[in-house]
Amino acid sequence: MASPSPTYFRKGFGLKADVQEDLDADYAARIVDRMREQDGTLVVGDVTIRLAGEFGFCYGVERAVEYAYQTRRKFPDRHLVLVGEIIHNPHVNAKLRGMGIEILKPDAEGKFDFAHVSADDVVILPAFGVTIADFEALRQVGCVMVDTTCGSVLNVWKRVESYARDGFTALIHGKYYHEETRATASQVTKYPDGAYIVVREMDEAREVCDYIEGKGDRDAFLAKFGKAASPGFDPDVHLRRIGVANQTTMLAKESLAIGEEVGSAIARARGEEARSTDFRTFDTICSATQERQDAVVELLKEPLDAMVVIGGFNSSNTISLAAICADTVPTYHIGDAGGVDPESRTIHFRHAGVQHVEETKRDWLPAAGPLRIGVTAGASTPNNKIGEAVGRIFATRGLSLDEA
């Protein structure tokens, strides 16, 4: 989204050097820097921890957090408002609250109330972006807007907008309630006949494919996808021409497979010519997400006794990393370092591939014998939380980082 208004900023305020010390103090970790220097390896006693080649904060997240810090420095006496969480990491958002930034919460439908936002306020747009409706509402208020929307997300928006412009329905692989997907889906509203439908995984995509091939029930389809489709969505009309896109943090291989499945369904229903004229697909997974997924796949080639994946339980890219690992090795997705309790020898984790199912497990590490533990982290996880988790893993075996 662009605006000629002098109250709209997308490139910070030239204060990076001024806030860098604060950023380092809040998020850097000496132990992580040390592991990087040692090819991602740290050995204490008979426990080896291997860190994936790519992990933690990506460029888009670093930029968003930095811009929030710059905004506080630029406007020390103004009321700062953030439209939802800047990223899906509770510690980062808590830091921003501690800096006096108010974080608005959406309602059950994912909508924000800007009634108390005034023209004197400074509003930060998160890395996920905001919907067109929210952007326009804030522009009408006349407040200063600092837009931290990730560039990879903007690329998906351009793709979805082009689909709507050319008369294609955007089929988005993502979570219909996720901030990024809501913002992406809203791009179709730039065109009167724009339409979208969101599928979370392959099973839902196959239901769409069945309908394309004439196997679905209209009422059941609309009941199933009512919240995940554009207003007035008509499957008999809007599933004729389809362009596939994705939430940037989803599993890349699944997004590509969904695109292939939809294209094949159109070909089976109406022939190969229809596939060439009525179907489009592009890989819109962001490069940082792909790099972290590739790095964990590479790490899983090594002999590992377990994987610990660190990141918010509502972080899609972290969830995707855990799903990849769980196919190969016992995997523990922890929200932060506090999920590992050395004293009780427990770990509190989210089950990979199962929504909202958490467990606290005792004696998750054997008390004796050599161990190799893999560690990675989602793109919204700061290095200090990774370092704390590494220390707690060693401590579970009675080992200290001072011995490294």
Strand 242-246 and strand 169-173: the pairing is: parallel
Residues near 217 by Cβ (< 8 Å), separated by ≥ 6? Answer: none
Residue 382 C-beta-side C-alpha neighbours within 13 Å:
23
| Listed residue (385, 367, 362) closest to 47, CA to CA | 367
The H or E element containing residue 172 is strand 169-173
Class of residue 61 by CB neighbours under 10 A (exposed 0-12, middle 13-18, buried 19+):
buried
Under 8 Å between Cβ of 224 and 261: no
Catalytic: 180? yes
Residue 318, both tokens: 């972290």
How far apart are the C-alpha atoms of 309 and 305, rounded to whole Å? 14
How far apart are the C-alpha atoms of 79 and 281, rounded to whole Å? 43
Q: Is the dihedral of CA 115, 116, 121, 125 positive or negative?
A: negative
Marked catalytic residue, from 54, 66, 179, 180: 180
The H or E element containing residue 36 is helix 30-37
How far apart are the C-alpha atoms of 131 and 391, rounded to whole Å? 40
Give Cα 281 distance to the centre of its chain.
21
Under 8 Å between Cβ of 381 and 61: no
Token pair 């351009």 in the structure block, residue: 158
Under 8 Å between Cβ of 404 and 391: no
How far apart are the C-alpha atoms of 98 and 96, rounded to whole Å? 5
Neighbours of 141 (CB within 10 A): 17
Under 8 Å between Cβ of 134 and 112: yes
Residues carrying an active site annotation: 180
